[in-house]
Chain A
Amino acid sequence: MNNYIQSNTHLIRLFNVLLISILVLPFIGLQHSATLLVVLLVVFFLKDYLKVFFSSLALSFSGYSFSRYKKAILVVSSVIILIIPIMPYSQYATDVITLCLIYVILACGLNVIVGMTGLLHLGYAAFYAIGAYSYALLSINTGIPFLATAVLSIVITSFIGLMTAFPALRLKGDYLAIVTLGFGEILRVILNNWQSLTNGPNGLSGIPAPHVFVDFTDARMMFYLTAVVCFVSVFIILRVERSKIGRAWRCIKEDETVALAMGIDVVRYKLISFVFGSFWAGLAGVLYASKMGFVSPDSFTFLESILILCMVIVGGLGNTYGAIIGAFILICIPEILRDIQTFRMLIVGLVLVLLVIFLPKGIVGSIKDVNHTNSKS
């Protein structure tokens, strides 16, 4: 399988290295370009060592069996939950972790559609936006209590999910992807331009914090609310994954024709998957809007959909635990890199490419692979 890599001579690789430094020349000037060339040449001659480094990284997980590692996630997350109140209070850290948990819900929800059922969805942020905006509009304009508003917003999101799924599911593969992408773009433009309802690009502010018996205005209270909701969501998704519905989804993903032959109502289960996925986007949207107190179209761009998709794939497609890890990684890396603001997204892009090249089945998938080969040998 790797023949094409080995068949390449070193000469071509050297040529590529030279090419890179020539290509960036117009952008960064002669001096920096020369520096880059030197750095690349050093990397080039050390690349065998780098390869060893990366593969040892993957191997370092090999001692853990998958179930042990599932336990590890549970232990680590419970430790985080327990530690937070003891730790010196940091608004920033609390906010980041709350955001991580919201994205965990989103990633797990998208994983239902993309990972389990195999429907490539590129407009997930649109449903996230619908959840957030419905909550914002309902809570600002009407006096309904928090829980009712939240439920109503989620129902609205799921219903719109159903409405889009009906026509979209007639399409297959990448056509479905491009239609969901189109839906996301259309929604973003509408949010930007329907001044009277959404206040355009300025967004809606003054969204009240959640109120269930007490007000969740404090960042730490909000964190606990999100954490509880997140745990319940992940639990429900894990249970559904193992139910008859989940098995039907997996069968559809593997082979639609076989699924049909086995008596699975493919269209019905695809619809369920789509609506079920949208449901979690709506929930995450409600949490996001009530946490931030402000929503604007900028938070729900195509890049947002892609970010959530990347979480699912980085973790390992079709695996809920993978989606959780992916969400934490992709939210935390930019936060860790916050000090080098200008380089930040540059590095995020690079990390995405490297992760996919060196761990093509995602983090969880690669660990499973290593275990598999170990148990065979």
Chain B
Amino acid sequence: MAFNSIEFLIFLPVVYSLYRLLNLRWQNLMLLTASYLFYGWWDERFLFLIVLSTAIDYGSALMIEEGKVPRRARLGLSVWVLLSAIGFVGLNWQGDLLAITPQGWWVCLGMAVVVGLAHLLYPMFCRLSPSKRRGVFLFISMAANLTMLGFFKYFNFFIDSAEQMVSTLGVTASSLRLNIVLPVGISFYTFQTMSYTIDVYQRKMKPTHRFLDFALFVSFFPQLVAGPIERASHLLPRILNPRTITFDQSMRGLFLILLGLFKKVGVADSLAGSVDSIFLAGSPVGPLDIMAATALFAVQIYCDFSGYSDIARGTSKLLGIDLMVNFRIPYASATPSEFWERWHISLSSWLRDYLYIPLGGSRGKPSMVYRNLMLTMLLGGLWHGAAWNFVLWGAYQGAILCIYRALGITQTFQSRLGKTLQIGFFFVLTCYGWLLFRAVSFAQILDFTQTLAMGWGDLSLSIHKPTLAGIVGLMVLLFYELCEHGSGNTLFYRRLPSVVRGGLYAVMVFVILLGTSNAPVQFIYFQF
């Protein structure tokens, strides 16, 4: 179920009303059910992956810290996994419920074998020395999560790449490509659950015994499919403990939902057609077209993704749970390191804490630091999608970070003009990165780059004009972000006189209505 769908418009008030009526225990149970419904709306089979991931990480964390999983919990986990396998994969919800497919049977049978093996091996695991056991279960958790992610997201990518490589050597490889459907948001919840096991392993937090609450932490619907990627140490305590919902919180939540819908429906979706008209043109286009489409894509992807994060935060705030801020006006960045402190903060901080720092971070020789930066950004690029242009985008971001670091440009200029020029220059660099990100093929990257470098003979403009919602929305967004940046306060709008504040809300509602009357577009980050 997407935030910009009519279904969600019904779903949220129902969930909110039930939530207000229940106590903590039932609130969490209801939220877990709602989260599964929210996610299963796309495809109920994907739910099995979440259940599996939840069970593995819950058990692994307990084994890492305590060396045992209580008998009742073990039984509960086994039943949970097997029932989920039957319910979500075995049964055919699209047609005859009991017409179980052969693949469904195999999954159920496979799970029964895995569960049986886990029970058989359990006494042996308990006898391991604590340090060995901790390592083994960290490995099990990482391997299970990364295998799921790798299989569903990267299997075909690696097979295709290997085939291409082999074919360049003149060998014909038979295709092993599988018809795999990418589960929505798998990269987000996989990283979130991995952080839990790692934090327990690093003794940054204690594992929880409350399985259903942990399941809610993994599948909490506002941030399940496109983040923010929450840390267990931040989100889990909010799930485990009673929440209070204040009027201010609710108003802020509603405003964030409004802002998010404004960005997504009003701006991002309204610019999509213009961007596509160049990137999907399939024929030669001029440099002005490429520049315009890339700049519009910069706005589109920002509004699409930060809009989602705003709605996620707003929805969660309505439920009394604060999620982390994921964007802080990223295009006001003057340096790459500042950009990554403002763009997709939950991912960049995850990569910093669980990849960059363990690799050595900024310690050691410059060459090692550059290596760490490049590796982190390359993997960050690959996290976005199974395609070489994302890897290239990651490499480009890594290279910019290294170059700025090598040149010693880590601070913004003091003068206003200098700072503006610095921001403008960095925006151009960012936009080229978006060109790599949005391009449909390597050939297009080469073609567009060549045109930008040498194709200035053709100054025609064939890009489709943005819709009315896009134009009005873009102006309002610019005004809003300038005010926020200028005031340095995300709550600046609350200080406005009621008449102006009401006007701002009204314009946003109106732009959403204008945007809603265009064809709906899926959130870009769902594919990641």
Answer yes or no: are A and B bound together in one complex. no
